[in-house]
A and B are shown apart, each in its own frame.
Chain A
C-alpha cells in the first residue's frame, strides 16, 4: 500500500468554517486533477461546529487508492495549516507530526514572532506565513452549515484561495495551474503563491 500523506487544517467554527472546508476541497480536487487519490473531510467529533470553536478539516493524499478510509482523524499530519493565527496559542497543533513537518499560518505577523507561540516547534522542518486576510480582505463568505464538508458553492471566494496558493508553493503537493482551474479568486491564489514567506528550520 502506498504512503498516505496527511494534511490537517485548523479553523474556527461557523464564522470561518466555510473557509476551512474550501481549503480541503480545493486541495483534494487539485491533487485529483494530478492523478492522485485524495480524500477531504471534516473532523466528525468537532461537528456540529459552534461559533469560534476550533474545528479541524482533513485531506489525505496517496498515489494509490486509499484502501482504509474509515479513520476519524489524521494522527500523523505532515502539513498543518492554521487559518486563524491565535489558534496556535492554546492548542498543540503539531500533535502527531513527525520531525521535519510543515506549518503554514494565515497571519501578517513575522515568522519569528509566530514561532514563539508554537509548542513543539522543534518538530518543524518548514514554517510559512501568508497574509491571506490582507490579500482578499474577505474572511467570511458563507454561514450555511453543511455537515460532511462537501458544500463547494462559491469555492475559494475567501481566504482559501491565497492559502491554497501558499500551500502549493510551500509543499509542492498540488500545482498552481490546477488551482487556477478550481478557485473563484485566481489572482488571490496567485498572490498567496507569490507572497508566502517561507523559513527552513534545522
Chain B
C-alpha cells in the first residue's frame, strides 16, 4: 500500500511538473497576448517528433533535448509572426479558429511525414534501468524528467519575478501602449513570449517522448489536460499554472490507484467547481491584469 502511494506520488509530481512546462507557455501567451493558443499541444507534439528525429539521426538524446525545443521555437516564431500578428486586434474567436487550424495542419503534416504509427525517443544508457527510492523501484528516466522539469520551472519562475526581461514581459501585458511609448518594440516582446512558450512545450515533448509513445494524437490529448490546468490556476497566471499542474498531476496519479475510469471525471469536476466558486481561477484575480 505504502509502495503504491509512493509510486503514485512520484508519478503525480512528475506529471505535474511536465504539465506545468506546457501550461506555463499557454498561460503566459494568454496573459500577454490575450490569445488562447489551441496549437500549443501541437507544439508539444512537434517537440517529441523533432526529438525523435534528432536523437535518431545524431544518435544523441542530449542534443535532442537542446535542439528539438529550439526547432519548435522557430515554428512558434513563424506561427506568431505570419498568422497571429495580423489578427491581434480582432475578436478572440479568430485566434481560437486560427490556432485550432494550425494544430490540425501540424497534425496532418506529422502524419504525412512520419506516418501514424507510434515512435519513441531512445533513452541514453545512463538514464535507463531503475533505482530504489525507499521501498519502491522507480525508473531512472522518470526521476530525470521530474528533476529537469522542476529545475526549468524554478528558473522560469525566477526569471519572470526577478529579471528585467520578466518585468518587461509583465509590463507589456499590463499596459501595451505605455511600454510602447517608452520606446520598446512590443511586437518583439510578443514574439519572444510566444517562442518562449513554444520552447517550453518542446522541452516537455522531448522529455515525455522518452517515456510515452510519440504519436499524432498526443497533441490533442495533452491540450485538454493543459486547459484544465490553466483554467483552475487562473488564465494568465504563471504561479497558478504551476500549482494547478501539480494538483492535476497528483489527482491523475492517485485517481489511477483508486478509480482509473473516473480520473477524467475528477479533473472535469474540479474544473467545474473552481469555475463556479472562483471563475477567475485559484490565482487568476491577483495576476491577470
Q: Do A and B bind? A: no
Interface residues, chain B, CB within 8 Å of chain A? none
